[in-house]
Structure 1
Amino acid sequence: MEQKRILLVIGGGIAAYKSLELIRELGRRGIASRCIVTKAGQEFVTPLSVSALSGDKAYTELFDLDEEAEMGHIQLSRSADLVVVCPATADLMAKANAGLANDLASTMLLATDKPVLMVPAMNVRMWQHAATIRNVAQLRADGVTVMEPDEGAMACGEFGPGRLPEIGAIVAEIETQLNGQGQGALSGVHALITAGPTREPLDPVRYLSNHSSGRQGYAIAAALAAQGADVTLVSGPVALAPPRGVTLVKIETARQMLKACEDALPADVFISVAAVADWRPARAATKKLKIKATDAEAPAMELAENPDILKTLSNKRKNRPRLVIGFAAETHDVEDYARAKLARKGCDWIVANDVSGDVMGGAENEVVLITHDQSERWPRMGKEEVATRLARKIAAELGGDDGGIKLAAE
């Protein structure tokens, strides 16, 4: 199979240093990078470091006779399968939208006939400025894929949307672009995933829930889609944008989640990542509950057990997914509890993780993949990398001995 190649434009911003990690991670996946480093980008990374990691010359100047004789900006713009701008600064996106061509990067973007992926990173006020909003909207209308930046603390000390997305998420999007939707190792596979928390109402104002951010489930959905799977993501309330190419079904309660999963069957693989509330109030009040100031005791609450979604789908006689994977979030004796859960639920794999630290809502995870006959401990890594590893395991499992995917529908 011919090696995939991207043309990476490294813009000028503090996030430019992460482009080096991106080049390395793509290389691990067999994706080659040829790089353009803008003049502003060279303030943060050197062409030498880029060249050393990519194994190719780093291009910097439009008016360079040697570079024009060797490659030429027109040929350079068409030499890759995908053009990636990372970080995509407000300036680079403005130039691309206006069709300006006053340096190598902007000229290449104007001349290319290949798909373009832009990965923004900038100050929150720049990202939310009316000019940037207009530029992003027009670029998308013109067919450019512009990822949503992450939200969080920035080097400038402000907080909000504008951070470069996690490297794992960028890699997954690049793989999706290179493979094409519906192509890849999991082409033809229907993957059903649950993510996030459920909310069980006490009354119209209050509810029972948990701390799940949904990040691991959303990362798995993105990784499977990048491998060509047809992904249905059943999600509780989270503050995350759905991955590109994924069918999102929003729910609130555990009972709604179960119905959405059953409606989505048949599926070839089911991954139960959601942190589903085990219990719900037996009777939700139709009006806000009031507590009298004179009451000496807290009001009693009768609870009812929620459906066990993982166990229900694991034990289906009809339309049981070929591969059923559960998650076990534990604070101690992680592997013992997870193996017991594997037997109790009737699923095929359990991904166990210790949530006693900053895993819930954090960017990293440390897991143990448990099957009926072995345990495989993975080192602590980003949740996107966990998702990528799991997607590869799933592709290998469904592939069988002959390497071809065997689908549940067959």
Structure 2
Amino acid sequence: MTLAGKRIVLIIAGGIAAYKSLDLIRRLRERGAKVTPIMTRAAQEFVTPLAVGALSASHVYLDLFCREDEQDVGHIRLARDCDLVLVAPATADLMAKIAHGLADDLPSAVLLASDRPILIAPAMNPKMWDNAATRRNVATLKGDGITMIGPMAGEMAESGERGVGRMAEPLEIVAAVEDLLSGPKPLAGLKAVVTSGPTHEPIDPVRYIANRSSGKQGHAIAAALARLGAEVTLVSGPVTIADPAGVQVLHVERAEEMRDAVIANLPADIAVMVAAVADWRVASGSDQKIKKQPGEAPPPLMLTENPDILKTVGHHAKRPRLVVGFAAETQNVEENGRAKLERKGADLIVANDVSPQTGVMGGDRNRVQLITRDGVEAWPDLSKEDVAERLALWIAMQMAGAPA
């Protein structure tokens, strides 16, 4: 477990994003962390101490002047008896208190008294985030050595509101916690290129050939490699998910653009080709929308083969030390994966069944087989984030020369 034995004080401030703190507690505990929650008075209007206590299996601290908690100067003990203080969500109000050294309630007193690393995950309306006062406070907090994750762009709780202000997702916060508390990073100094998502091959200005890839698995792998210290370039086809933090992202549309972007980023130490690249493109697309003619058959589409990006990388003069490919299959998964391993010049093929009934394409979970020349390792059904974490660790062991 990546956070086994780590003690985290979690301060929950008052905002609608407080509901995410419940999942955050679960994610931290899944990784072995001990979570001690502190709630502001406003936070209790959004989630209950009962729910927070049940999920954390810990006493929930609420009041600076609680006789029982403060008989041994509890706010000082909380501030020091931990490995990290995490604030999620961090409201504009609480951030202002931290920036100005106020300590008029238990959360702010703990933050002022702590000599441990502090990580905050801001969450507020975009107008509040863009306010000049908040920007000054953010600069002060960063100058004081406080680490920040987010906020992210997206829909707000308010109807019709969109912009930067969403709290980072629980798994993103967990990754930031792991990053702060981790020791030496096994992939530090290494360069990785990852592809993700589908490609869109134009038929005319309106239509294109594509597939159902969401990019979730590739983006998660890019983020996991970055957390282990790699310098990651992610070449992404058209997706609707956010760019992962800590990663350089190049956005492309077509397979030829993806190939060119990958080659331009060689040499690299690691290549992980996750993208579901369209096998074919229209040989000669139309500059104008192809119109349907009543009573006439549709015009034929002449297709030509797209570049094979994995094979190109696997046989390139600047071939990375480790080349990983993905095989999305609907039948004979292992057999097709083995054939792809040899044909493409890869070191590892991550094969999975993407039949419609599996829900893998566009879904949040995956069941993969790792196919190398030495054999096959089948992994259980996992979230795509967990697949990414395990694969990144597998890659790190390979790069270190250790058995996987």
Global fold match (TM > 0.5): yes
Distance 1:9 1:22, change over 3 A: farther
Question: Which is worse superposed, 94-103 or 335-344?
Answer: 94-103
Counterpart check, 1:323 vs 2:322:
yes
Specify the code of the residue in structure 1 equivalent to 2:38. I
Counterpart check, 1:311 vs 2:314:
no
**How many pairs were matched up?**
382
Q: Percent identity?
A: 44
In the other structure, the counterpart of 2:397 is 396
Distance 1:49 1:262, change over 3 A: closer
Of the candidates 116, 127, 131, which is equivalent to residue 128 of structure 2? 131
Give the conservation status (yes or no) of the 8 Å contact 2:49–2:60. no
Shift, 1:109, TM fit: 3.4
How far, CA to CA, are the matches of 2:351 and 2:136 in structure 1? 44
Give the conservation status (yes or no) of the 8 Å contact 1:351–1:367. yes
Specify the code of the residue in structure 2 equivalent to 1:6. I
Give the conservation status (yes or no) of the 8 Å contact 2:283–2:303. yes
Distance 1:197 1:46, change over 3 A: closer
How far, CA to CA, are the matches of 1:71 and 1:215 in structure 2? 46
Unaligned 5+ residue runs, structure 2? none
In the other structure, the counterpart of 2:372 is 371
Other structure's SS at 1:45 match: helix
Mapping of 1:11-410 within 5 angstroms?
11=13, 13-27=18-32, 33-39=35-41, 40=44, 41-47=47-53, 50-51=56-57, 58-64=60-66, 67-68=69-70, 70=72, 72-74=74-76, 76-77=78-79, 80-86=82-88, 88=89, 92-99=91-98, 101-112=103-114, 115-119=117-121, 127-128=124-125, 130-131=127-128, 134=131, 140-141=138-139, 142-143=141-142, 144-148=147-151, 167-179=170-182, 183-285=184-286, 287-316=287-316, 318-356=317-355, 357-401=358-402
How far, CA to CA, are the matches of 2:324 and 2:353 in structure 1? 17
Q: Structure 1 length normalisation: TM-score?
A: 0.81
Other structure's SS at 1:291 match: coil
* Root mean square deviation, CA, Å: 3.4
Distance 1:256 1:115, change over 3 A: farther
Shift, 1:185, TM fit: 1.8
Unaligned 5+ residue runs, structure 1? 122-126, 404-410
Give the conservation status (yes or no) of the 8 Å contact 1:169–1:222. no
How far, CA to CA, are the matches of 2:347 and 2:148 in structure 1? 37
Shift, 1:18, TM fit: 1.4
Specify the code of the residue in structure 2 equivalent to 1:382. S
In the other structure, the counterpart of 1:406 is none
Specify the code of the residue in structure 2 equivalent to 1:371. T
Specify the code of the residue in structure 2 equivalent to 1:373. D
Specify the code of the residue in structure 1 equivalent to 2:240. A
Specify the code of the residue in structure 2 equivalent to 1:169. E
Give the conservation status (yes or no) of the 8 Å contact 1:202–1:284. yes
Specify the code of the residue in structure 2 equivalent to 1:314. G
How far, CA to CA, are the matches of 1:240 and 1:309 in structure 2? 23
CA deviation digits over 1:224-266, x for unaligned, max 9?
A: 1111111111111222222222111121111111111111111
Shift, 1:277, TM fit: 0.9
How far, CA to CA, are the matches of 2:155 and 2:361 in structure 1? 16
Distance 1:306 1:402, change over 3 A: closer
Distance 1:49 1:263, change over 3 A: closer
Distance 1:137 1:331, change over 3 A: farther
How far, CA to CA, are the matches of 2:106 and 2:334 in structure 1? 54
Specify the code of the residue in structure 2 equivalent to 1:297. A
Specify the code of the residue in structure 1 equivalent to 2:322. L
Question: Which is worse superposed, 100-109 or 358-367?
Answer: 100-109
Q: Structure 2 length normalisation: TM-score?
A: 0.82
Other structure's SS at 2:359 match: coil
How far, CA to CA, are the matches of 1:43 and 1:65 in structure 2? 18
CA deviation digits over 1:326-383, x for unaligned, max 9?
A: 1111222222222221122121111112222322222111111111122222121211
Other structure's SS at 2:291 match: coil
How far, CA to CA, are the matches of 2:380 and 2:370 in structure 1? 11
